[in-house]
Chain A
Amino acid sequence: MESRIHDSCFECTLRPDRLFCDLPADALEAFDLIKCKTQHPRGTILFRQGHPAHAIQVVCEGRVRLSVSSDSGKRVVFRVAGPGEILGLSAVLAGGNHEVNAEAMDVCSLATVKRKDLLRFLRQHREACLQVVSLLSQDLHVAYDRVRSIGLARTRRARTASVH
């Protein structure tokens, strides 16, 4: 299938359907200047839990598996992120380490933005900041659902059903 994602966000035909990407022209122009487009094969580990968060990655194409893991290698799949979602957002904004592991499930096309550039961009572009707040709120709803399904499962079997 031919990719409909372009190097410039201006030319991307999928933009209006995506929560973060549907920004006003001046914000898009500024975003184009700070982003770096990359492609990753399936199975690539994009970042690991506990590693410092230096940049966010906007998913342009493909799916990314987000999981949390223990030292012994046990894993709970947190959720699957799709196009238009931002990876590493909360860790970058909080200035800490990644809370989850991110692994490409398909060939993924990503737009990477360094922390310093992102913080400046969000302070200068209110619309983008509002989109980020909306995205974080949605992420948080999903996270609480996971807490509910794992923490309130009646049996140990149900609790460990999503542990790999």
Chain B
Amino acid sequence: MLSPYGMDIIESCLTCKMRSERIFCDLPTSALQSFEGIKYATAYPKGAVLFVEGQAPRGIFVLCKGRVKLSICATDGKTLILKIAEPGEVLGLSATVSGKAYELTAETIDPCQVNFVKREDFLRFLKDHADACFKVAEQLSEKYNNACHEVRSLGLSHSAAEKLARLLLEWSSKNGEAAKQEPRLKLALTHEEIAQMIGTSRETVTRLFADLKKRQIVQAKGSTLVIRNKNALRVIASSN
């Protein structure tokens, strides 16, 4: 079925071709059949809020298509983006399991397909299906490791330049670009959003990019960023 957002909706997990590549989704047939009975396949436009920080947990959101921005917010409005979630990730997992409030805000940055499962149904599903429970443990481990990484980056980095260099190196190591001499990466976020990822201001990010371009460490080609001098970027990233 083609949705209003120009996206093919995957109605059944049993026939989803991407299933085998995704950590949570690659479940045995019996578990998948049970999952089919409790999930609600929904499509969201760009900018939709799936849940907000502090809200009581309703359930989990399995991201099938599109990307979702996960952020935390201070009372003065300062925002910190923790991660851009990719398809296959389960959102709202720890809050749903523990019963505590959602600790992050999840907002779509593309049109997304999301499979929602109510909390009571999900907890029952985990009790009945050991394989699913194991996969949830794996996903939680990955999220925990990511949070540790975030604490290290925010708490121990000296400067915004160092944090930006680390972020660019991290992005450039994905999508088979890691081994390349001059890796390319698609800058899908605005300077404002990058600033929110590294805990600095938009102005600082713009200034840092201008400096990196001037020193020919990076080169912008439309929304694609080419890392011309990976070693120089590594030096900046490890300057503490």
A68 touches B142 (CB 8 A): no
Whether the Cβ atoms of A71 and B240 lie closer than 8 Å is yes
Question: Are B134 and A129 in contact, with the CB atoms below 8 A?
Answer: yes
Would you call B141 and A137 a contact (CB within 8 A)? no
Does B189 touch A at the CB level, under 8 Å? no
How large, as a class, is the contact surface on chain B? 35 or more
- Is A52 an interface position by the 8 A CB rule? no
Return the CB mask of A104-118 against B: 1 if under 8 Å, else 0: 000000000000000
From B82, B95, B138, B152, contact of A93 by CB (8 A):
B138
Q: Which of A89-147 contact B (CB under 8 A)?
A: 89-91, 93-94, 96, 99-100, 122-123, 126, 129-130, 132-134, 136-141, 143-147
Q: Which residues of chain A have C-beta atoms less than 8 A from B149's C-beta? A: 99
* Residue from A72, A94, A147 in contact with B82 in the complex, judged by beta carbons closer than 8 Å: A147
0 or 1 for each of B156-172: is its CB under 8 Å from A? (1 = yes): 11000000000000000
Chain A: how many interface residues by the 8 Å CB criterion?
45
Q: How far is the CB of B70 from chain A (nearest CB, A)?
A: 10
**Minimum CB–CB distance for A49 against chain B, Å:** 8
Q: When the two chains form their complex, are residues A123 and B145 in contact, meaning their CB atoms are under 8 A apart?
A: no
A145 partner residues in chain B, CB cutoff 8 A: 103
B154 at the interface (CB under 8 A from A): yes
A81 to chain B, nearest CB (A): 13
B residues less than 8 Å from A147 (CB atoms): 72, 80, 82, 147, 150-151, 154
The listed residue with most A CB atoms (<10 A of its CB), out of B97, B137, B238, is B137
CB <8 Å contact, B72 and A139: no
Cross-chain contact A144 with B134 (CB below 8 angstroms)? no
Contacts of A69 in B (CB 8 A): 152, 156
Q: Would you call A96 and B145 a contact (CB within 8 A)?
A: yes
Is B78 an interface position by the 8 A CB rule?
A: yes
> Smallest CB-CB separation from B151: which chain A residue?
A146
Q: Which residues of B contact A4 (CB under 8 A)?
A: none
* A74 touches B (CB below 8 Å): yes
**B97 adjacent to A133 (CB under 8 Å):** yes
B120 vs chain A, min Cβ distance (A): 15
Report B-chain residues with C-beta under 8 Å of the C-beta of A89: 141
Inter-chain CA distance A139–B149, complex, in Å, is 14
Query: Is residue A20 within 8 Å, beta carbon to beta carbon, of the partner chain?
Result: no
Q: Which residue of A lies closest to B197 (CB)?
A: A151
Residue B115 is within 8 A (CB to CB) of chain A in the complex: no
B interface list, Cβ under 8 A from A: 72-74, 76, 78, 80, 82, 93-95, 97-98, 100, 103-104, 126-127, 130, 133-134, 136-138, 140-145, 147-152, 154-157, 199, 238, 240
Query: Can you list 20 A-B contacts with CB-CB less than 8 angstroms, sorted by A residue number?
Result: A68-B148, A76-B155, A76-B156, A78-B148, A90-B140, A90-B141, A90-B144, A93-B138, A129-B134, A133-B140, A136-B140, A141-B94, A143-B144, A143-B147, A144-B147, A146-B147, A147-B154, A150-B154, A151-B154, A163-B155
Chain A residues within CB distance 8 Å of chain B: 68-72, 74-76, 78, 89-91, 93-94, 96, 99-100, 122-123, 126, 129-130, 132-134, 136-141, 143-148, 150-152, 154, 159-160, 162-163
Closest 5 CB pairs of A and B: A143-B147, A90-B141, A99-B148, A136-B140, A137-B94
